[in-house]
Amino acid sequence: MQILTPHVYWAQRHAEIYLRVDLSDAKNLDISLQENNTLQFRAQGHGAKGENEYEFSLEFFEAVRPEIKHKSTQRQVDIKIKKQEERWWDRLTLQGKKPLFLAPDFDRWLDESDAEMELQAKEEKINKINVESRVRKDPYLGLKKGYLFMYNLVQFLGFSWIFVNMTVRLFILGQDSFYDTFHTTADMMYFCQMMAVLEVINPLLGLVKTGFFPAMIQVAGRNVILFVIFGSLEEMQNKPVVFFVFYLWSTIEIFRYPFYMLACISTEWKLLTWLRYSLWIPLYPLGVVAEAVAVIQSLPIFDETRLFSFPLPALLGHSLSFSYTLQLYLVLMFLGLFINFRHLYKQRKRRYRSRKRKVQ
């Protein structure tokens, strides 16, 4: 039987050499490393010249370790050899001229800089695993995630009900639906916004990583509008501004809460992630503008009814109208918009930066 040379493909990393021998159904494998760092290969199988006995030898560019790992499949023989020193070789063989049967393995091929990046990524992954193994696991982690999942699910269902109710009524009644929004959805909005107080408590208990102050600004601001402006003034409850405030709130939340809900089970939908971190850019400022319109419309009503007025000594007058407090609140509202917008924008940048690193 004629002895022939198979096609051999190679690639390297800083610590290893990979060889792929194009020989299918290989039998009688004999792979050894000689003293002069020469690899000897002999096997019988089906190669470029059909069923024959094939052999080759390679004298490596530098020293390698004697351990050789190989795996034979129906299509090829894979060989893995560790270098004596972890560094990049200029070529595979000691002789300057490349053997005719040897070619790069482009399925594994990396240049030196790419191999360094791959090595760095592996080291970071190992370090991360080591750090995580040292960190004491939270025995209540499952319970915390279960609580957060249920909280976000309840809020999602509540705001979805509000959104669907308002949308259906808008299509059926048109502009007439603007004037009874409060009477048809207020109870559910009361429930959702009272539940939202937990979003201020959760950061304090260490259940979530979001900041305390951004959550407090948003929850407190909404509750002032809902309970003080709309809830306490019957004259405000029939105004169209209620529709726009409730509709903008619910539109933001029907994407925010399911995003957090899926995060509790380590799941991500790319479209939902994009909507959660993109829709708020126009909707959040619009919501604040709608809230500001509601506050401005309520000022003359508070002046007339003297509701929540502050009593003053007789020399200074009877009372100080609550409208002055609301005028100060208007300033704080737009300051809160700036703080929350900046916080959310940073969140968005961090999110997409981390996703970009994963892709790379």
Q: What is the model's pLDDT at position 312?
A: 74
Q: Catalytic annotation on 59?
A: no
Beta strand 8-12 pairing with 3-4: unpaired
Report whether 104 contacts 11 (CB < 8 A): yes
pLDDT at 277 over 70: yes
324-355 pLDDT tens trace: 999 999 988 888 778 777 777 777 766 656 55
Q: What is the model's pLDDT at position 353?
A: 60
Fill in the amino acid letter for 57. Answer: S
Q: Which of 1-5, 154-158, 276-280, 354-358 has the highest mean pLDDT?
A: 154-158
The mean pLDDT value of the chain amounts to 86
Give the integer Cα–Cα distance in Å for 309 and 320: 5
**Per-residue pLDDT averaged across 120-129, rounded?**
72
**Per-residue pLDDT averaged across 299-308, rounded?**
91
Q: What is the model's pLDDT at position 107?
A: 83
- pLDDT-derived band of residue 317, with 50, 70 and 90 as boundaries? low
Q: What is the model's pLDDT at position 174?
A: 93
Q: What is the model's pLDDT at position 273?
A: 87
pLDDT at 106 over 90: no
For residue 220, CA distances in Å to 39, 50, 122, 278 come to 74, 79, 46, 23
Q: What is the model's pLDDT at position 135?
A: 55
Give the integer Cα–Cα distance in Å for 125 and 116: 14
Provide, rounded to the nearest whole percent, the portion of the chain with pLDDT above 90: 42
Q: Which of 53-57, 68-72, 184-188, 332-336 has the highest mean pLDDT?
A: 184-188
- For the purposes of burial, counting CB atoms within 10 Å of the CB of 25, is it exposed (0-12), middle (13-18) or buried (19 or more)? middle
- Whether this prediction's pTM lies above 0.85 is answered by no
- pLDDT-derived band of residue 236, with 50, 70 and 90 as boundaries? very high
**Per-residue pLDDT averaged across 82-107, rounded?**
87
- pLDDT-derived band of residue 134, with 50, 70 and 90 as boundaries? low
- Name the least confident of 108-117, 242-251, 343-352: 343-352
**Per-residue pLDDT averaged across 261-274, rounded?**
90
- Name the least confident of 122-126, 235-239, 309-313: 122-126
Q: Catalytic annotation on 291?
A: yes
Give the integer Cα–Cα distance in Å for 145 and 128: 22
More confident residue, 160 or 130: 160
Report whether 55 contacts 39 (CB < 8 A): no
Question: In sequence order, which residues have a C-beta less than 8 Å from that of residue 26 and are 6 or more positions away?
Answer: 43, 44, 45, 72, 77
Catalytic one of 151, 277, 291, 329: 291
Instruction: Of 70, 59, 61, 56, give the one whose Cα is nearest residue 100.
Output: 56
- Name the least confident of 216-220, 258-262, 312-316: 312-316
Q: What is the model's pLDDT at position 359?
A: 42
Catalytic one of 18, 190, 284, 324: 284
More confident residue, 294 or 121: 294
